[in-house]
Amino acid sequence: MSLKATYNKDFFIKNNCIHLSNDFLSKNFNRFKKITGSKIGAILNKNKYTSPLKVWMLMVNLYQEMMDETLAYVGNTIEPKLRKYIENKLQINYKEYNPFQVKWDVFKENKIFGGLPDGEPIDNDGNFLYSKNYPMLEIKTTSIDSFLYKTENGGLVMQKDANNIPIVKKEKGKMEGWFDANNNLIIPYDYQLQLCLYMYLRKVKYGIFVVGFLEKQDYANPAKFDVAKRRIETAKIDLSLIEFENIVETATNWYYKYIHTGISPEISESDWKWLKPLLDN
């Protein structure tokens, strides 16, 4: 993670909040990011990895978050396999977007919310099939084990052995959080918000998750990932558009309070731990 702006020039800290300078705000406002599925959980303080302050800094372009290269490559390689799996299972074709072509946003008409669904049901002519109650798709990959990570340049980097295999911190450590005592799949609330936001923007009621559970060797050779040899789980989700209005209203108010004004949410104690080294550099 690295700052993209200059402390005490482009932004300053006052009353335990970050304030954008008037010059930075006026010059960059039109390039501020919208609320997407991956951000709404943090905005509502429901993401255990990202705080409201961090997502605010990302949205106003104060910093750039670096994703672990291995995780990015594995996700891009295995997600199409999971999409094909669910297409065969449901006998539905799903539209896959090229993020560079659509600039990571298929909801251009909305000035506050945007993003990119993992798949939208279509017929052979490319028309959406939501009128037939076909579900929107969200794809997730997760390791079975928890791995060892090291903080480098403000970001977490997966640690590997000499054979390029991730170093296991705890066997089945990640698996535990995905299932209840009866071995029923649990979709984290942050992920539910992500899919539900896109369903809300499309005004559709039904969605489905497909979750692929990866073994450590899949991170060294994701191209060899075989859905027939791995645990794949699905979970359907129904959305009440009326009930989700309350979440959208809360997120909208957050957007106008913090993004429009250029004044951040309050800096928490944990925020200070990672922010202070960036300011000192």
What local confidence, expressed as pLDDT, does residue 156 receive? 82
pTM over 0.75: yes
Please spell the DSSP secondary structure of 54-102, one letter per residue: HHHHHHTTSEEPPPPHHHHHHHHHHHHHHHHHHHHHHT-EEE---HHHH
Strands 206-214 and 168-170 come out as unpaired
Is the pLDDT confidence value at 1 over 70? no
Query: Mean per-residue pLDDT for 102-114?
Result: 97
For the stretch 79-103, pLDDT in tens is 999 999 999 999 999 999 999 999 9
**Would you call 269 helix, strand, or coil by DSSP?**
helix
Going by C-alpha positions, the residue among 191, 34, 189, 204 that lies closest to residue 120 is 204
Instruction: State the virtual CA torsion across 26, 265, 50, 137 in degrees, nearest 10.
Output: -70
Going by C-alpha positions, the residue among 213, 208, 179 that lies closest to residue 191 is 208
Continuous segment of H or E residues that includes residue 233: strand 231-238
The CA-based diameter of the chain, rounded to the nearest angstrom, is 57
Helix axes 241-254, 189-202, angle to 10 degrees: 100
Please spell the DSSP secondary structure of 98-145, one letter per residue: -HHHHTT-S-TT-SSB----SBEEE-TTS-B-GGGTPPEEEEEEEESS
Instruction: State the virtual CA torsion across 15, 46, 192, 233 in degrees, nearest 10.
Output: 140
**For 157-224, what is the HEC assignment?**
EECECCCCCECEEECCCCHHHHECCCCCECCCHHHHHHHHHHHHHHCCCEEEEEEEEECHHHHCCHHH
What local confidence, expressed as pLDDT, does residue 66 receive? 78
What local confidence, expressed as pLDDT, does residue 262 receive? 98
Pairwise CA distance, residues 4 & 188, whole Å? 31
Percent of the chain at pLDDT above 70?
A: 99
Pairwise CA distance, residues 247 & 154, whole Å? 31
Give the pLDDT band (50/70/90) at residue 153. low
Give the HSE-up count for residue 125: Cα atoms under 13 Å, Cβ half-sphere.
2
Give the pLDDT band (50/70/90) at residue 176. confident
